[in-house]
């Protein structure tokens, strides 16, 4: 009989580095503790353009009430796109966008009102997703919140 070790899920903290757009802002993320200060991210980050679902990060566990992300140990291959729907975007438009992406095996999380993050797995065509969202952006109904 094999005993599967249950991984503990914890909140960890990402602090946006000074000098970046939202420098100093903080984001609380969920992650599986892997031991030794290593954590595997379990939700989609909004502020960090370098972190993605299932990435393994090293955290400083010496201060604050929760571990603080210091660096990325390994990347999962997942990628993240962030969207802010405009005030003019109807609920139907938002739902249609999210469902179209869900049909492609793309998960989403809501950050706040009309702000979403999408996780693009490595086996999904990232360029198709980005192009799909850029086409909708041209309608002035959403903003693809991404660098570059």
The reply to whether 52 and 83 lie within a common domain is no
Q: Is 55 exposed, middle or buried (0-12, 13-18, 19+ CB in 10 A)?
A: buried
Q: Is 81 exposed, middle or buried (0-12, 13-18, 19+ CB in 10 A)?
A: buried
Answer whether residue 3 is part of any domain: no
Residue for token digits 């005030």? 87
The reply to whether 64 and 87 lie within a common domain is no
Residue for token digits 């604050």? 64
* DSSP at 54: T
The reply to whether 65 and 84 lie within a common domain is no
Q: What's residue 146's pLDDT? A: 73
What is the distance between the alpha carbons of residues 91 and 78, in angstroms, rounded to a whole number? 27
The reply to whether 45 and 87 lie within a common domain is no
pLDDT per residue as tens, the chain (148 positions): 444 556 689 999 999 877 655 555 889 999 999 999 999 999 999 888 899 999 999 999 987 689 999 999 999 999 999 999 999 999 999 999 999 999 999 999 998 899 999 999 999 999 999 999 999 999 999 999 876 5
Answer whether residue 119 is part of any domain: yes
Output phi, psi for 95, to 5 deg: -65, -45
What angle do the packed helices 126-137 and 91-102 form, to 10 degrees? 170
What is the distance between the alpha carbons of residues 23 and 90, in angstroms, rounded to a whole number? 32
Enclosing domain of residue 54: 9-74
Quote the number of domains for the chain: 2
């Amino acid at each position: 009989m094999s005993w599967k070790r249950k991984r503990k899920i914890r909140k960890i903290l990402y602090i946006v580095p000074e000098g970046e757009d939202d420098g100093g802002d903080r984001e609380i993320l969920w992650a599986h503790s892997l031991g030794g200060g290593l954590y595997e991210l379990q939700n989609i980050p909004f502020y960090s353009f370098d972190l993605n679902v299932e990435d393994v990060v090293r955290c400083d566990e010496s201060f604050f009430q929760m571990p603080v992300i210091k660096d990325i140990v390994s990347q999962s291959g997942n990628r993240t796109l962030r969207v802010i729907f405009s005030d003019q975007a109807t609920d139907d438009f938002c739902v249609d966008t999210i469902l179209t992406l869900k049909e492609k095996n793309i998960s989403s999380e809501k950050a706040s009102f009309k702000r979403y993050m999408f996780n693009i797995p490595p086996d999904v065509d990232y360029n198709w997703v980005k192009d799909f969202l850029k086409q909708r952006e041209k309608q002035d109904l959403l903003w693809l919140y991404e660098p570059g």
